[in-house]
């Protein structure tokens, strides 16, 4: 299911087998929250080198409905992406939409942000929804807390995450799906260890690190990753949820992480903040008005091959939809490439990260 192909320090290169094909790790997974990576066609994502797309079970449950997606071929048939999918269980939405939710040990009650209708979601429901969506990799239901948080809040979230993970393991029925457990615990090493130790006997095919990049500073995140490396089994994939800045990807790879997702590439692409081999730039800046050069001379994506910085700036300034499309395409290509090159360096034994 998961084969470790090479290591370089703590950095790892592996191969994860899924029902819709193998995934080479480390891997960056573009986010298509509602079964769509905004502004990009599936064939464009494939051309960027994307191997896995992420969708959110909470949002698809609300609209168009997980049973409708099931009846129209699951995510693969419904959204036209035949490669692997990963679905988040909805636990992060407990955190991000906390003003609209009530959390108990049984699950969550919430009102839809779409129409105000009342809903409840338990671990068993999260499994049913994800089984209907048909993703290759599915996530256990968990509770995430905003940092900084009180020790009591972190401990309570870990208690629920452990209990809900056990219920998810019991409720999950599809053998063609890989169910990952999620290790919570904020930046508290003891709570992270307690959560991991409780989840390991459940023998999940993979383990995620949740609850990071949610308010802690970067040094705390990296310290937590350093500690987590010794908690997670070496023969299972490790997934750092919601982290996607290029420097964070490389620092996490150096600490033994295999999988990543984040909306930041397309979100920044829509507002004109673009990643390049020389760092980030705001293409709306006036200094690019007469710049006939490519966005990133080192990049081979269609945006950099076909359009100048001056033209890209014009598109954003004029409100033309092609600007955010080209920016999102480039950023996605860049982030996928950062991780792909790291894999190549791990395999050759040349990966280095200060």
What digits encode the pLDDT tens for the residues 105-151?
Answer: 999 998 888 999 999 999 999 999 999 999 999 999 999 988 899 99
Architecture per CATH, 2-262: Alpha-Beta Barrel (3.20)
Strands 273-276 and 279-282: antiparallel
The yes-or-no answer on residue 217 being catalytic is no
| pLDDT recorded at residue 345 | 98
Candidates 230, 237, 171; CA nearest to 204 is 237
Alpha-helical segments (H) within the chain: 42-48, 57-62, 66-71, 74-79, 91-96, 123-133, 151-171, 189-199, 218-229, 246-253, 264-271, 302-306, 309-318, 322-348
% of the chain with per-residue pLDDT over 70: 99
> 103 with 166: CB under 8 angstroms?
no
Q: Specify the pLDDT at position 137.
A: 99
Q: Indicate the burial class of 300 (C-beta count within 10 angstroms; 0-12, 13-18, 19 or more).
A: exposed
Q: State what percent of residues in the chain have pLDDT above 90.
A: 91
- In the structure, what pLDDT confidence band is assigned to residue 72 with cuts at 50, 70 and 90? very high
Residue 129 exposed, middle or buried by CB count within 10 Å (0-12, 13-18, 19+): buried
Kindly list the domain boundaries of the chain, sorted by start residue. 2-262, 269-347
**Given the residues 88, 136, 142, 296, the one annotated as active site:** 88
Residue 248 known to be catalytic = no
Q: How far is CA 229 from CA 11, 139, 192, 244, in A?
A: 10, 20, 11, 19
Mean pLDDT of 244-248: 97
Catalytic residue (one of 125, 136, 258, 261) = 261
């Amino acid at each position: 299911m998961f084969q470790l192909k090479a290591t370089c320090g703590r950095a790892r290169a592996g191969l994860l087998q899924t029902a819709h094909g193998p995934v080479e790790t480390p891997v960056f997974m573009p986010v298509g929250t509602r079964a769509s990576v905004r502004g990009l066609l599936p064939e464009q994502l494939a051309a960027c080198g994307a191997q896995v797309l992420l969708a959110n079970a909470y949002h698809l449950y609300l609209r168009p409905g997980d049973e409708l997606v099931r009846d129209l071929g699951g995510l693969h048939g419904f959204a036209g992406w035949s490669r692997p999918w990963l679905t988040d269980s909805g636990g992060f939405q407990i955190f991000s939409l906390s003003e609209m939710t009530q959390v108990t040990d049984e699950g969550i009650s919430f009102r839809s942000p779409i129409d105000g209708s009342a809903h409840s979601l338990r671990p068993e429901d999260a499994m049913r929804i994800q089984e209907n969506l048909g993703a290759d990799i599915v996530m256990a239901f968990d509770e995430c807390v905003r940092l900084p948080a009180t020790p009591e809040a972190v401990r309570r979230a870990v208690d629920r995450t452990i209990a809900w993970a056990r219920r998810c393991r019991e409720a999950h029925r599809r053998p063609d799906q890989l169910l990952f457990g999620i290790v919570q615990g904020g930046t508290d090493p003891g709570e992270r260890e307690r959560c991991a130790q409780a989840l390991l006997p459940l023998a999940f095919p993979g383990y995620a690190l949740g609850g990071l990049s949610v308010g802690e500073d970067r040094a705390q995140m990296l310290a937590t990753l350093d500690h987590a490396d010794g908690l997670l089994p070496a023969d299972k994939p490790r997934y750092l949820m919601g982290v996607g800045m290029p420097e964070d990807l490389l620092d996490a790879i150096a600490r033994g992480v295999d999988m990543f997702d984040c909306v930041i590439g397309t979100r920044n692409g829509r507002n004109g903040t673009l990643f390049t081999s020389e760092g980030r730039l705001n293409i709306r800046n006036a200094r690019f008005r007469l710049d006939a050069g490519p966005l990133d001379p080192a990049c081979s994506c269609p945006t950099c091959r076909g359009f100048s910085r001056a033209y890209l700036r014009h598109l954003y300034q004029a409100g033309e939809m092609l600007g955010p499309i080209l920016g999102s395409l480039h950023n996605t290509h860049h982030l996928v490439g950062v991780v792909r090159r790291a894999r190549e360096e791990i395999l050759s034994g040349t990966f280095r990260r200060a």
